[in-house]
Amino acid sequence: MRKTKTTPARRLLLERYSRVADGIALLFFPYVEIVIHDLRSQTVAYIANNLSKRELGDESALEEIDHVATPGTIGPYEKINWDGRRMRCVSTVLFDDAGAAVGVMCINYNIAVFDEVKHVIDLVVSGAGVVKQPEELFKDDWQERINTFLHAWLRERQLALNSLTRDHRRELVEALWAEGAFKGKSAANYVANVLGMGRATVYQHIRDLRDAAE
């Protein structure tokens, strides 16, 4: 660790922001690193949860920061860490009481770990060697046909299954009837369970629809 001169600006940065950095690092441990840079000396003043293997007193290389100090926050942007992993970062300019930019707090988020998780999930969801359903085995799969029609109906109307009103449910039963969905054995019971309706209500709707069709 390099020795650095303690200046009023540096003391202000540490007194005001080091605990903030510690809090963020604890909350998102072990995925987030927070680095506070001293703009006056262009060196690293504080590091919480060191992921980048930098040291206090290292050069910050932020000579151009004054040109972007006006907006206060920079990013999010991405960079590559020493181990080749992607980091998503946000940098916030820190000001003194006179309004002068004296520091920068960089929050560096290790998102590579989530890339790895996403890769595993993609493998599980996509499956290995998944083939089309054998038509002969599933040619009478009325449950899947009901599910397919039901969710297409919901998407077209931008509705969610758990927020359907009584009128929506009645309209959906009518649409399923028109589609021939109730020809399958126990189809009415299945629809009642899926839609959260009483079986008697579904059967009554079906009787009304059958009577109207005669």
Question: Looking at beta carbons, which pairs linking 205-208 to residues 24 or more positions away fall under 8 Å?
Answer: 205/170, 205/173, 205/174, 205/177, 206/173, 206/177, 206/182
Beta strands in the chain (DSSP E): 32-38, 43-48, 73-80, 86-95, 101-110
Query: In whole angstroms, how far apart are CA 77 and each of 70, 80, 111, 113?
Result: 18, 11, 12, 17
Q: Could you give the CA distance from residue 93 to residue 105 in angstroms, rounded to a whole number?
A: 6
What number does CATH give the domain 8-114? 3.30.450.20
Domain ranges for the chain, please list them.
8-114, 138-213
| Structure tokens belonging to residue 139 | 């040619």
Q: Could you give the CA distance from residue 152 to residue 161 in angstroms, rounded to a whole number?
A: 11
| Structure tokens belonging to residue 103 | 């520091």
Q: Is the pTM of this model over 0.75?
A: no
CA count, 13 A, side-chain hemisphere, 98: 6
Burial class of residue 21 in the structure, from the number of CB atoms within 10 Å of its CB (0-12 exposed, 13-18 middle, 19+ buried): buried
Query: In whole angstroms, how far apart are CA 41 and each of 17, 37, 157?
Result: 17, 9, 60
pLDDT tens-digit series, residues 187-214: 888 889 888 888 899 889 888 888 887 6
- Position 125 scores a pLDDT of 74
The radius of gyration of the chain's CA atoms, rounded to the nearest angstrom, is 30
pLDDT tens-digit series, residues 126-177: 765 555 544 443 345 678 788 888 888 998 989 888 888 999 999 989 998 8
- Position 130 scores a pLDDT of 56
Query: In whole angstroms, how far apart are CA 6 and each of 12, 157, 180?
Result: 10, 64, 80
Residues linked to residue 93 through DSSP beta bridges, in sequence order:
104
